[in-house]
Amino acid sequence: MAKLKTKFACTDCGTESPKWLGKCPGCGAWNTMVEEKETVVKTQGLGSSLIQTKEKPLSIIHIDSGQEPRIETTLQELNRVLGGGVVPGSLILVGGDPGIGKSTLLLQTSHALAVKGLTVLYISGEESVKQTRLRADRLGALTDTLYVLCETNMEQINDAIESVQPDFLVIDSIQTVYEPSVASAPGSVSQVRECTAHFMRVAKVRGIATVLVGHVTKEGAIAGPRLLEHMVDCVLYFEGERHHSYRLLRAVKNRFGSTNEIGIFEMGESGLREVSNPSELFLSERPLGVSGSTVVASMEGTRPVLVELQALVATTNFPSPRRMSTGIDHNRLSLIIAVLEKRMGMFLQTQDAYLNVAGGVKLDEPAVDLAVAVCIASSFRDAPTRPFDVVFGEIGLTGEVRAVSRAEQRVKEAQKLGFKRIIMPEKSLKGWSPPSGIEIIGVETVSQALAAALG
């Protein structure tokens, strides 16, 4: 006979404990242990609990190594992030802030696949079918092969999958689905783990491309145990400022493609619209002839993107100056300021420093170091940079400028947008010939870069 057992599980990592703990012993997070009820069923023996399978081990040389077939959608930005399209039988997890546009993106994707003749099942646990129909009317996503269901019970969802036999399945969201045999509440660690494992088996056995929508915590990470991201094939984050219309789709895990690609969309009245030239978008409102503004060439996966950096250096009356950054790691900003103080003799100890990446983009590659240094020095000296300069390069602690990858692609993107001069590492000029019509200045130290940009 089954009996109930109380346990405590961490909402961040899934670590279980028989009693409540203030600090999770697994991940070290505070106040994340929540109470759950677990149904314990006695089994007759070890053999009855083992999963029987008909698969037999194969020699690795006898396994077909052909590429995975892909289903391309009409959203090219989504295809880029996924690595070329949706892989049948894959399990995709999409996370993002509330109201950012996750349901809109997936409903547009479902419509695009349904138009191509695929059968799509969209299961919503948070909206009724009428609400989904109203969104579909606004987006123009009305197709005969797009089926909608409002359900959270796993048994009913299984019946719907058996009835529709879809090629593409959307679960919005995984935190609302529950397994009746698990005593915990929907959204708990046990329920999320069990339901995700079930959809993973459905995707792999039936070959159904499945997308799970995941809620995020206040820190921006997907809610639930970290095991959730390990179980799926692809993890996508839908990012963007709520007060801006631009959205970024970023892959942080992808078993079928690169994890550095981003897709850029613009939210409008009729849904999400693709942005084919993000560099032109990010530079559309750039002021000219002002200090503290620099354009950097950054790589987002295989795509070069030109972004504007803005810096403001102001005198402070407090003994500890502030260092604030948006879009760039705060520790990286402090490191570059320390290099400018030590190697360039800039007295920034009494100056507040604020850095912003225009457009809400997050830059995490070291190639933006040189542009950050030029931007801060420009604001500190109140000396504007040239309006048609592009700067990129990595900075070392001794003040040297190190080479970066894919310099040729960055230069070509800058030339395409009409920039006249590039300040880049000297060592990155080897192995290729710069295009005609654009001036290339190779630098080896930060002092040479500042002399070229602000001289």
Please enumerate, by residue number, every residue annotated as part of a binding site.
Answer: 96-103
Binding residues for ATP: 96-103
Q: Are 23 and 29 a contacting pair, CB within 8 Å?
A: yes
The number of residues making up the chain comes to 455
Calpha distance 292→311 (Å, rounded): 5
How far does CA 304 lie from the centroid of its chain? 17
Residue 447, Cα to own-chain centre: how many angstroms?
35
The DSSP bridge pattern shows strands 146-150 and 246-254 to be: unpaired
End-to-end Cα distance, the chain: 83
Per the DSSP assignment, residues forming a β-bridge with 254 are 234
Tokens at 24, concatenated: 């999770």
| C-alpha atoms less than 13 angstroms from C-alpha of 187 in its C-beta half-sphere | 12
User: How is residue 67 written in tokens?
Assistant: 């590429």
